[in-house]
Amino acid sequence: MKTAIITGITGQDGSYLAEFLLNKGYFVVGLKRRSSTICTDRIDSFYDHPNFKLRYYNLNDSGCFYRLLLEYKPQEVYNLAAQSHVKVSFETPEETVNAVAMGPLRQLEAIRSVDPKIKFYQASSSEMFGVNPDAPYNEKSRLMPASPYACAKVFAHNLVNNYRESYGLHASSGILFNHESPRRGETFVTRKITIAAAKIKLGLQDKLYLGNLDAKRDWGFAGDYVEAMWLMLQQKRPDDYVISTGETYSVNDFLEAVFDSANLSIEKHVEIDPSLFRPQEVPYLLGDCTKAKKKLGWEPKIKFKELAAMMYSYDIKRIRELAFEV
């Protein structure tokens, strides 16, 4: 039985990847940082699975990671943990950069010392392309990061490449474009919109405040994207891969898709709050995942409209049940 360690297990992607690997017969060690509230909602469905073990780990704790490698002897490590909110990274830059850049450095150092055969996945991001005007972006496009978060992801991305070349590690980076789901964090724009629409529809909220509606993103489904992570570590050679849908839509498009299907008026319920704008914005992201299609045989299954509908129907059902105990 293969063993995989997943950092960031309580996050959106960690929960989908764990389910995917458990279904493939892996033993999964999920790593969670300690918090004063338990925060295991996304992993409660498999918490008691006999092939799942939850352990504590923080990205700043090198010794802990060494001990976990020695104890579990994994074949694969997926580094998904991060302070992943771009706007928050402007507010807490030092904490963000320490976790996002130094976390993978500490892990790669541990891997090369304990067992250089362990395969490593790094969660790189389309935010690394930042303000590069030449979209669509592929693995060779210039990285022009526009936030502390993206700068730190560029550091980690380059480091993975450096450890691959210098020490022969099987270390791969998935350059994932935005991916969403009913498990998306509630302060990311898609989920903020689907939750607000559900609450407005049920008479529990009146206004939704948003920032820049013009930004465009290449939005896919997280459940599809975790398969690509796994496929990268099954290849003979490590590499970098763009994972995207190849379609881009504005925040306003997402808002309209959700509000139209809920039969709600944007004019009546949505207001712009300037405090939600970022010091620097990434205006346009569009991925070209030709390499992943050819080499990994990976394809996105769920696209924009279906994704928006899936998220809204999940939230309206959940909030109705919570509010009215039906």
The residues carrying an active-site annotation are 125, 127, 149
- Site track 11-50 with ligand NAP (rule: CB under 6 A), x = hit: xxxx------------------x-x---x-----------
Q: Which does 38 bind (CB under 5 to 8 A by kind): ligand NAP, ligand F7E, none?
A: none
- Check residue 86 and report its DSSP letter: H
Closest distance of CB 124 from ligand F7E, Å: 8
Which residues in 95-114 contact ligand NAP (CB under 6 A)? 99
- Check residue 263 and report its DSSP letter: T
Instruction: Identify whether the C-beta of residue 170 lies closer than 8 Å to the C-beta of residue 238.
Output: yes
Determine, following the binding rule CB under 6 A, whether residue 126 of this chain makes contact with ligand F7E. yes
C-alpha distances in Å from residue 210, one per residue of 71, 110, 163, 188, 207: 46, 42, 41, 11, 10
- Among 141, 178, 194, 244, which residue sits at the site for ligand NAP (rule: CB under 6 A)? 178
Q: Please tell me whether the peptide bond between 136 and the residue prior to it is cis, using omega within 30 degrees of 0.
A: yes
Nearest-CA neighbor of 245 among 324, 301, 186, 166? Answer: 301
Which residues in 236-255 contact ligand F7E (CB under 6 A)? 251
CB count within 10 Å of CB 10 equals: 20
CA 182 from centroid of its chain's CA atoms: 13
Interacting residue ranges for ligand NAP, rule: CB under 6 A: 8, 10-14, 33, 35, 39, 58-59, 80-84, 99, 123, 125, 176, 178-179, 185
Interacting residue ranges for ligand F7E, rule: CB under 6 A: 84, 86-87, 125-127, 177-178, 187-189, 192, 210-212, 215, 217, 251, 276, 278, 281
